Structures are given as structure tokens and as C-alpha cells.
Amino acid sequence: MLGAGIIKGMAETARNFIGSYTEANLLVTVEYPEQRLPLKESMRNFPFLVFDGEDWQKGLRCVACQICEKECPPQCIFITKDAAKKPDYMGKLQFQPKVFDIDTSVCMSCQICVEVCPFEAIKMDTEFELSTDNRFGDLLLNKEQLARSNEHYHKIHPTEATEVDERLAGEKAKAEAKAKAAVAAAAAKPVLPPKPTAQ
């Protein structure tokens, strides 16, 4: 019968209208600034620089190798090497960045810098409320603004951070074992018979 479909449709919209007051699944709106959904662990937005310990300047893992700068597809990373060296987590002396800027207006969140970094120094952050009223200065983040502690990394990506920590600890232990072995070898050296000299 003509008109039956209209009545059926109106019943459906009425059900949704009333349901939006009574049923939770019929009102799915999250009122964003007041309510927030929990962020997904795999979420990523812009990169940050990881540092260990309390002081970001001392603990920064970055060694200014500039691999990320070269690999960055939109070329939004700017690095200048510092002349002075500082010890890294393994105690080895490394370069450090004097300037490390990321232009977040250019960054496309591809995570390639994270993949190529051999020092686990750059990771993806979950922060997304980055809007500012100054598009020229405030979107270019410097070293200080980019630095985040390892605890922060643990907080936003726990699984990944644990893996990274384990790997780093493993490398460190290996290096230490190697160093120990080297020390042992050095200690054992005098015991060895001296090389016969060519006669």
C-alpha cells in the first residue's frame, strides 16, 4: 500500500530518537574536550626524542647521526652536530645534536625516522592537540620541546618500550661482557707465552 513505507520509516526514526535518550548504544557521541576516548597503543602522530634518566640534556639518546634527516621523505628534520662529544648509554663517546628541529607542519607521521634510527632515539608520540596561533614559529619544535623521558615512552607504548629496553639492556650486557672479556683477555695476556720472534 502506498504510504506504508513512510510510516515504517517514521517508526524507525522515532525509535532512534527515543533510543538516543534511553539506550547508550544509540547515542555514540563523545563530547571531545570534556570526554576522551582512551588512546590506542598503536597510535602515532609526531616523533619525539627519547632521553634516559632525569636530565634531558644528558640523557638524550640521539647521537646526531643524521640518518633520519636523510631518510625523512618530506624532509622536516633539521640536525646540526655539536662539536663536543658525550658518552652514550654504553659509556661510549658519541656526537650529540646541537640543533634538532622537526617541522610538524611538514611531518607526515610516516614513522620512517623511527624505523631507521639505530639508537632507538626517536619514537612516535601520541599527542595530537598541537594547534597553535602562530603558524610560523610554534609548529617548528626544537630539541627541548621534542625531548620526552623513557618513562613517557613506557606510558604511551608499553609493549614496544619494553622490547626496546630489553634489546638495549641485552646490547649493553653483551657489550659489557665483551668489555669484561677484553679486560680478562688483557689481564690474561701477560700469562700467554710471548710470541716467538722471528729468528
Partner 1 sequence: MFEAIDQIFVALKHWVVGQFPAAWQPLGSVFLSIIPILAVFPLLFAITTIVERKTLGRIQNRLGPNRVGPFGLLQPVADGLKSLTKEDIVPYAADQVVHFLAPIALIVPVLLAFSVLPVGRNMVPIDLDAGLLFFFAVGAGSELAVFMAGWSSRNKYSLLGAMRAIAQMVSYELPLILSSVTVVMLVGSLSTVKIVEAQGEAYGWLLKWHVFTPWGLAGFLLFMIAAAAESNRTPFDIPEGESEIIAGYLVEYSGFKFALFFLGEYLGLFAVSSLAITLFLGGWHAPFSFLEWIPSYLWFFGKLSAFIMLFIWLRGTLPRLRMDQLMNLAWKFMLPMCLINIVVAAMWHFTAHWQFVGAVLCRWLLCGAAIGVPYLWLGDALFGEKKLAKRTYRFAD
Among 22, 29, 35, 199, binds partner 1 (CB under 8 A): 29
Segment interacting with partner 1 (CB under 8 A) among 18-26, 104-112, 127-135, 182-190: 18-26
Using rule CB under 8 A, residue 12 touches partner 1: yes
Segment interacting with partner 1 (CB under 8 A) among 5-13, 148-156, 159-167, 188-196: 5-13
Using rule CB under 8 A, residue 128 touches partner 1: no
Query: 50: helix, coil or strand?
Result: strand
Question: Residue 112 CB: number of other CB atoms within 10 A?
Answer: 15
Using rule CB under 8 A, residue 36 touches partner 1: no
Which element (helix H / strand E) includes 103?
Answer: strand 93-103
127 CB-near residues (< 8 Å, 6+ apart) = 45, 46
Q: At 132, list the grid cell.
A: 597553535
Nearer to partner 1, 3 or 38 (CB): 3
Using rule CB under 8 A, residue 17 touches partner 1: yes
Using rule CB under 8 A, residue 1 touches partner 1: yes
φ/ψ region of 122 (left if φ > 0, alpha if ψ in -120 to 50, else beta) reads beta
In the complex, the smallest distance separating the C-beta of residue 7 from partner 1, rounded to whole angstroms, is 10
Alpha-carbon distance values, 96 to 29, 59, 61, 81, 100 (Å): 47, 11, 8, 6, 10
Using rule CB under 8 A, residue 6 touches partner 1: yes
Q: At 27, list the grid cell.
A: 547515542
In the complex, the smallest distance separating the C-beta of residue 129 from partner 1, rounded to whole angstroms, is 18
Residues that bind partner 1 (CB under 8 A): 1-3, 6, 9-10, 12-14, 16-17, 19-21, 26-29, 31
